[in-house]
C-alpha cells in the first residue's frame, strides 16, 4: 500500500527518527491513532490531518509504502493507515507537492475539496513565512475548484 507521510525538518515524526530512503519496523499490531507508523493514501489527507502547518510544509514530505501489516481507517472524508513496516521511498519537492495537491483536488468531491482548501488556508496563517502555497496559488485553486463562502482570502473563516 502506497501513500504519503509528513516529517519535521530532521525526518522525525512523533519522536521517532526516520531516514530517506529507509525501512522501519515496529513489533506491534497496527491500530490507527494508537500504535504503528501512520501515513495517508493521498497527500491531501496528510495536509488535512496536519492542518498544512508551516512546520509541515517546511519539513519533509515523502512517498512511503507499507510492506507489512496495515490497517486502514476511513472517516468518510479522509483515510489514514497504520502499519508495522514502513518504507520511505523518496522526498518530494514543494513543487511536486503543489502539483499533487492540485491533481488530487480535481478528483475530490466538494466537501473534501473544502477541507483541503481550508487546511491550506490554516497553513497560511503566518504571513511572515512563505512557501510554494502562497495566497495567489490558493486563490487560483479556489477559482478552479469552487469556494465555500465562509472561507476568505485572508485565511479566516
Same domain, 10 and 82: yes
Inside any domain, residue 150: no
Inside any domain, residue 34: yes
Inside any domain, residue 151: no
- The better pLDDT of the pair 115, 151 is held by 115
Work out how many domains the chain is built from and give that number: 2
Q: Give residue 71's pLDDT.
A: 95
Nearest Cα residue to 36 out of 8, 60, 1: 1
| 62, 22 contact by CB (below 8 A) | no
Domain boundary among 63, 91, 119: 91
Domain boundary among 71, 91, 111: 91
Same domain, 37 and 112: no
Same domain, 29 and 74: yes
Does residue 4 carry a pLDDT above 60?
Answer: yes
Model confidence at 14, pLDDT cuts 50, 70, 90, reads confident
**94-125 pLDDT, tens digit each:** 778 878 887 887 776 666 666 666 666 555 44
Angstrom distances, CA of residue 140 to CA of 7, 29, 56, 135: 27, 43, 22, 9
Q: Give residue 58's pLDDT.
A: 65
Inside any domain, residue 105: yes
Same domain, 75 and 134: no
Q: Give residue 149's pLDDT.
A: 38
Q: How far apart are CA 76 and CA 108, in angstroms?
A: 12
Q: Give residue 124's pLDDT.
A: 47
Inside any domain, residue 154: no
Does residue 154 carry a pLDDT above 50?
Answer: no
- The set of cell numbers assigned to 39 is 501515513
Same domain, 77 and 119: no
Inside any domain, residue 153: no
Q: Which domain holds residue 13?
A: 2-91
Same domain, 25 and 78: yes
* Model confidence pTM above 0.85: no
Same domain, 98 and 87: no
**53-73 pLDDT, tens digit each:** 445 556 789 999 999 999 999
Q: How far apart are CA 64 and CA 23, in angstroms?
A: 10
Model confidence at 155, pLDDT cuts 50, 70, 90, reads very low
Amino acid at each position: 500500500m502506497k501513500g504519503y507521510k509528513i516529517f519535521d525538518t530532521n525526518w522525525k515524526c512523533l519522536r521517532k527518527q526516520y531516514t530517506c530512503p529507509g525501512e522501519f519496523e515496529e513489533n506491534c499490531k497496527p491500530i490507527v491513532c494508537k500504535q504503528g507508523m501512520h501515513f495517508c493514501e493521498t497527500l491531501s489527507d496528510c495536509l488535512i490531518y496536519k492542518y498544512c502547518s508551516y512546520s509541515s510544509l517546511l519539513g519533509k514530505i515523502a512517498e512511503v509504502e507499507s510492506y507489512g501489516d496495515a490497517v486502514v481507517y476511513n472517516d468518510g472524508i479522509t483515510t489514514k493507515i497504520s502499519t508495522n513496516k514502513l518504507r520511505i521511498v523518496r522526498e518530494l519537492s514543494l513543487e511536486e507537492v503543489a502539483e499533487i495537491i492540485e491533481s488530487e483536488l480535481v478528483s475530490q468531491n466538494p466537501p473534501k475539496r473544502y477541507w483541503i482548501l481550508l487546511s491550506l488556508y490554516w497553513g497560511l496563517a503566518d504571513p511572515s513565512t512563505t512557501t510554494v502555497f502562497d495566497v495567489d496559488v490558493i486563490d487560483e485553486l479556489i477559482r478552479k475548484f469552487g469556494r465555500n463562502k465562509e472561507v476568505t482570502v485572508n485565511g479566516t473563516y
